[in-house]
Structure 1
Amino acid sequence: MPSVVMSIMQGPLCGALATMLLYGVICMQTFRYWQAYEHDMKILKYLVVSICILETVHTALTVYAVEFYLIMHFGDVTNLAYAVWGMPASYVIGFIIAYAVNLCFIWRILQLSQKRWIAICFVILATIRCGFGLANCSLSFYYPMWKVFRQHVFPTMVVGWVLSAVVDSAIAFTLCLYLRKRRTGMNQTDSILNRLLLYSINTGAVTSFCAILVVVMFLSLPNNLAFIGFVQVQSKFYAISFLASLNTRKRPGTTKQTAPSAVEGVALSFMPDISTFETSHQQSLHLPPIEVRKSVVMNIYGDDLDTGMDSTVHGSEC
């Protein structure tokens, strides 16, 4: 009996614990987004809210599935042979979240490359991958017994998760390739691009690694549900990567306006002292203050980089 419980519930239990941990990270990222980017487009706000709600439901269903086996039906070995409805329902939500995040990254690739055929190919692959996942989830409703389910979904399970690893790796690689081309040599802009590159690499590596582990566990452990743990946490990695990429942007209103001391060896310290200005009302002319403002704007949606140097000269006569 202990060996049966361990082989069936060890993977889902570990996956549920990791899911709750990552759900806390998602809540933190969502709160940070709403604090810093309240003026974003409505469609982006709706997407963030939708992902947060779906992740909440996904976490609740994952906890319910573990509670069903280990608390509500504790000691009932017969129930371990069947999948409770909460498991496939949570997987459906996970595939929907993964598909939405993939489409967001594909849209960014389109804006960076301006090549529609690349985006269309990725959309087709992501749609096929999502179709395989939803098909496997629907079959688990018709074949709730684990052994019967495994016999019917064996080919689609392997193909779907291999395709998942390929799609995630290809999207991350393409995104990194075009982000590198957008480097300008400016420290502030390149630091933002480097963070986006890091998130893109981590996203593709982590989600692809999870997909590979699902296939390996599914093939090597036919009487074990260890692969379910990696299925449960994968959607959380998609949501975290999406929210982190949004929070990487420069916050509105944080552009610093400073007057540099010199540009190309020419001093620009022409700003008169305020105290001198107040005590010299009898003078007929004052040196005009020069204010040099340098702004760097990065549009995360299209990843367009706009750099500009504005010089404003203010003069006054007494």
Structure 2
Amino acid sequence: MSGHAVADIRNTYGCTFIGLIVSVMLFGITTLQTWIYYWQYGNRDQKALKLFIAVIFLLDALHTTLCIYSVYWYLVLNFGNVEILDTSLWAMGVQVDVNTLIDYMVQLFYARRVYIVGGSIVIPIIIVIFGTASFALGLVFTVKVNTLEFWSRFGSIAWVTNTGLGSAVVADILIALSMCWFLYHKRTGFARTDSVIMTLMTYSIHSGLLTSVLTCAVLISLAVAPSTLYSFMFFFPMSKFYANSLLAM
């Protein structure tokens, strides 16, 4: 982005629009998963877990709403106003907070699972540290959205996004690897039990790998094309993958 104008809408809000479409589709899956959860487990699980699932769903709904409003504000309400495309809207900053909050809550949930399965407090603490760092830097990003005003100025805080996203990747990889390690050592020698353990290990790898790859895609797009908004094409759907992985568990 040069000055306060966006040179090519295709690699800025065109990418954001694609991210929005994917996000809305995934939110539909989240809605279905939430309904299935309460239908099948609503009378069996603890109230705390049911409340946790409800909060995740409501936050994901809020995040989807903020994404829709942001794209609508840029592409419809300000249609034809080229200069406004470089303006950092408050809703874009808030959706980052909601996104990282969902990620953080799911990471804390998995950190607790790692503690329950493995019995060690060290790895969960490390996961919490990296998850907290990612969430805190997400808050810093939102503050900067309101102070820097223009996307073309955000190169000055690249360390915030890079460190925050990098911390999230570390947390996700630690969750996947530690779950696999502890589950592997829970094998009993009985075919049926071991089959369930192998299924959980495979799921842990896939879910952790998926969120890590998506986060890395955001990092790479920021590094390779910092003057575009390719990063939002991957960042918008990120919270949905965390919510989906939680509900599928």
Q: TM-score range by the shorter chain?
A: over 0.9
Aligned residue among 55, 59, 84 for 2:60 = 55
2:90 counterpart of 1:85? yes
Any conservation in 1 of the 2:97–2:142 contact (CA below 8 Å)? Answer: yes
Residue aligned with 1:63, SS: helix
Any conservation in 2 of the 1:109–1:174 contact (CA below 8 Å)? Answer: yes
Residue aligned with 1:227, SS: helix
Any conservation in 1 of the 2:6–2:12 contact (CA below 8 Å)? Answer: no
Query: Distance in 2 between the 1:122 and 1:78 partners?
Result: 42
Aligned residue among 218, 223, 226 for 2:227 = 223
Structure richer in strand, relative to its length: 1
Aligned residue among 199, 204, 210 for 2:208 = 204
Residue aligned with 1:40, SS: coil
Cα distance, 1:176 vs. partner? 1.1
Any conservation in 2 of the 1:199–1:244 contact (CA below 8 Å)? Answer: no
Off by >6 Å, runs of 4+ in structure 1: none
Structure 2 residue aligned with 1:156: 160
Cα distance, 1:189 vs. partner? 2.9
Aligned residue among 122, 130, 147 for 1:125 = 130
Question: What is the letter of the counterpart of residue 196 of structure 1?
Answer: L
Count of aligned pairs:
244
The 3 A distance-change label for structure 1 pair 2 and 112 is closer
Any conservation in 2 of the 1:5–1:77 contact (CA below 8 Å)? Answer: no
Any conservation in 2 of the 1:7–1:223 contact (CA below 8 Å)? Answer: no
- Measured against aligned partners, the alpha-carbon deviations of 1:166-210 in whole angstroms (never above 9, x if no partner) come to 221111111111112222233443333233222211121111111
- Measured against aligned partners, the alpha-carbon deviations of 1:209-261 in whole angstroms (never above 9, x if no partner) come to 1111111111111211101111111111110000000xxxxxxxxxxxxxxxx
Identity %: 30
Structure 2 residue aligned with 1:242: 246
Matches within 5 A, 1:66-215: 66-151=71-156, 153-215=157-219
The 3 A distance-change label for structure 1 pair 141 and 191 is farther
Any conservation in 1 of the 2:128–2:171 contact (CA below 8 Å)? Answer: no
Cα distance, 1:109 vs. partner? 0.7
Query: Distance in 1 between the 2:83 and 2:200 partners?
Result: 49
TM-score (normalised: structure 2): 0.93
Question: What is the letter of the counterpart of residue 180 of structure 1?
Answer: Y
Higher relative contact order (CA closer than 8 Å, sequence separation 6+): 2
Instruction: Return 5+ residue gaps in structure 1 as ranges.
Output: 246-318
Question: What is the letter of the counterpart of residue 26 of structure 1?
Answer: T
